[in-house]
A and B are shown apart, each in its own frame.
Chain A
């Protein structure tokens, strides 16, 4: 009972602290440009929350979240393009269409002129695609590596499709050059702050949602499905339904993240939705700790921030570093950085019990952790709090 109470209070306190940091401290301290960057990282974090549920809790290694991210992003981008075209051009035809296409807006773009349809579509289309896909896949009991390969192939196909449609999706250029967001001027720094705040609020809400799911009976079933799918089936539940629902939630989160990404970053292109970004989404989640609530969020934000900070100083080094970190975490710390405290704790016990030379396990993760000092510090208090 005491523990339960402390856990609940702790969660509320943690949530409040996170909200204060994201909504109060960050906008006050950071310049607009950095705030925009942070907003982008938060979009990745929203995707990560979904992956944490699907992969960490549900065991579905989804290598194709870029598809849902891309659907949300392209839907939003199409709306913004159309809105800009009628607001500034007058003709109602996006600039790139008259340059490279027929100069006419294709029929399937038209619904996205409406802001309401757009907002609904951002949630519903990724959700529906995931629903159909999930039912088709999980009802047939496709799982493990087959599911991973399938989801990755989907991401690859999606990117190739977008590249091929130069006249209607902007091809490899993608969609960019947005000037307004639902009537708000994107040049105005206040509006950029607003976009950041929306992303932060959506992230907080998605964390809250993920927590509710994790701590509900559904969340327990999900873990059970991950660990012993057959037994859950014998108990009379349908694992396919449980997995599909989770997959849909993860897809919807990715779609919303994509829709927020577009006004924040100002561009969406096939390079942001294909195989590589889909895997990149996963790396942060794995490093942070996929089965925990905050691990994926902190992992996604820190990996994106580290990439932003390091990739310009060491352009080619970054890719290797990221790969190495991924291998080390998967190999030696499957629980991610979130499991670091317990790992250290266990090691301490070992040392007092028997003064054996350091376990081969321990020093290996210690080296990347040392390289990652700022991240580690960012991650630690969160972990300690929980």
Chain B
């Protein structure tokens, strides 16, 4: 009895509510051809009238990635300060709006939307994990805004709204394989965390190995954050591979290297090439566990270039002498200067003009001269193999003779034809 009375009270209200909702319909996609180009709603709200310009930094300052990403935030902050001290961009001081991605892709997408739509920033810098980039990509494309992504990644991507200032695979993984092959490596064991970067990297390594006659003796994955490696380490030892290619990320490296050492494997008996361990991660993994092991990056703190000396000195002066600089930090630092150079070449903060001006823009980065490739929005980089020394820094043991053109889809490699369909 009571129930029916209530029901009657609610029904008309509910009906009215549904009607209201349906009245608000917008455009439907009728013609797919035009749909792609439907004027993006992001009619830019960037304010260029004052004597400052807003830029956004988006990094995980909390969650599992905070330990890595906060270092990128620091170097971005340094770059912004240096640019402001030298007169800003087009005479405007940078006003930084920073957002926390909280190590969650969804958060990155949401916060990127805020930086573009609510804060009206002229460009956004940051992101680390592939999932954070994949989450932000549609946001930047839909709003026609700019993201500068500073971390090495798995390639197979290109967006006119993202500038990739970290290495793509032909600037990190393939040179590392070339180096191993040159050293006489004939067999490899692949160990990685279970997410898109290691899986794609290993797909590339498999194709490379098949073409160059290198034997892959095993391919093992563990969930991100996993610390149980005894089975894998035993498999690695029993495989008697010439070397291990390590795409583990984060805390897993600590457990992996500790257990690797405990079964008697060393850098001399079976070297491990890591692509996610930089200067910043060495103390965490434990210098004892990784000393002498190999890394593949495009930048090391020990590089002897004038720009690097200046960068390292400025960073230590600002954040403390005990702090180190790493490849992603350098790529982030570089990204802000590249944007500045693009804007100054374009003479405008407008996204389409910056995009048009991007091709051929150069910057004397700590890693050496980098040039933007306007076709795929990546930059030239100089691949370097490094060896972790007794101080926990990384010495260059091999360096590409010249900067390598970015080739995210590996179009120039015959053996990679089937990878990017």
Contacts and interface: CB of A to CB of B under 8 A. Distances in A.
B85 interface: no
B41 A189 contact: yes
A8 B105 contact: no
A213 to B, nearest CB: 10
B223 A198 contact: no
Interface string B203-233: 0000000000000000000011000000000
Interface in A258-303: 265-269, 271-272
A301 to B, nearest CB: 16
B130 A194 contact: no
Interface of A: 8, 11-12, 15-16, 19, 23-24, 27, 31-34, 36-37, 40, 87-88, 98-100, 103, 160, 163-164, 166, 171-174, 176-180, 183-194, 197-198, 200-201, 204-205, 208, 211-212, 215-216, 265-269, 271-272, 308, 311-312, 315-316, 318-319
B62 interface: yes
Given A33-B114, A176-B135, A272-B106, A190 B26 contact: yes
B200 interface: yes
B41 A312 contact: no
A99 B135 contact: no
A208 B28 CA distance: 31
A103 B156 CA distance: 14
A190 B28 CA distance: 10
A189 B42 CA distance: 9
B196 A187 contact: no
A6 to B, nearest CB: 14
Interface string B1-32: 01101110110011011101110111111001
21 contacts: A11-B6, A15-B9, A87-B35, A100-B199, A103-B421, A160-B223, A171-B196, A172-B196, A176-B134, A177-B134, A178-B138, A183-B28, A185-B28, A185-B29, A188-B27, A189-B41, A192-B26, A193-B24, A194-B26, A215-B6, A315-B62
B66 A315 contact: yes
A100 B61 contact: no
Contact of B139 (A103, A211, A216, A266): A266
Contact of B105 (A164, A183, A271): A271
Contacts of A271: 103-106, 131
A173 B131 contact: yes
A173 B130 contact: yes
B224 A172 contact: yes
B317 to A, nearest CB: 25
A386 to B, nearest CB: 15
B26 A191 contact: yes
Contacts of B400: none
Nearest to A198: B21
B70 to A, nearest CB: 9
Interface in B85-133: 98-100, 102-106, 109-111, 113-114, 117-118, 129-131
A271 B108 CA distance: 12
B420 interface: yes
B17 A266 contact: no
Q: Chain B: interface secondary structure?
A: helix
Contacts of A308: 110
Nearest to B104: A271
Given A179-B142, A187-B38, A208-B13, 5 more contacts: A99-B420, A166-B194, A173-B135, A176-B138, A193-B24
B195 interface: yes
A27 B28 CA distance: 20
A189 B66 CA distance: 33
B36 interface: yes
A147 to B, nearest CB: 26
Interface in B382-421: 420-421
A179 B135 CA distance: 13
A27 B23 CA distance: 13
Contacts of B72: none
A8 B41 CA distance: 44
A290 to B, nearest CB: 22
Contact of B196 (A15, A166, A201): A166
B138 A185 contact: no
A267 B109 contact: yes
A16 B110 CA distance: 31
Given A33-B118, A208-B10, A201 B27 contact: no
A112 to B, nearest CB: 19
A91 B110 CA distance: 30
Contacts of A183: 28-29
A25 to B, nearest CB: 12
Given A31-B118, A312-B100, A266 B6 contact: no
Nearest to A272: B106
Q: What 5 A-B pairs have minimum CB-CB distances, sorted nearest first?
A: A190-B26, A315-B61, A197-B21, A188-B26, A191-B26
A65 to B, nearest CB: 16
Contacts of B223: 160, 163
Given A15-B13, A172-B196, A88 B36 contact: yes
Contact of A87 (B32, B62, B104): B32
A204 B20 CA distance: 13
A32 B20 CA distance: 17
B269 interface: no
B296 interface: no
B135 A185 contact: no
B234 interface: no
A44 B20 CA distance: 22
B40 interface: yes
Contacts of B109: 176, 265-267
Contacts of B62: 311, 315-316, 318-319
A268 B130 CA distance: 15
A23 B21 contact: yes
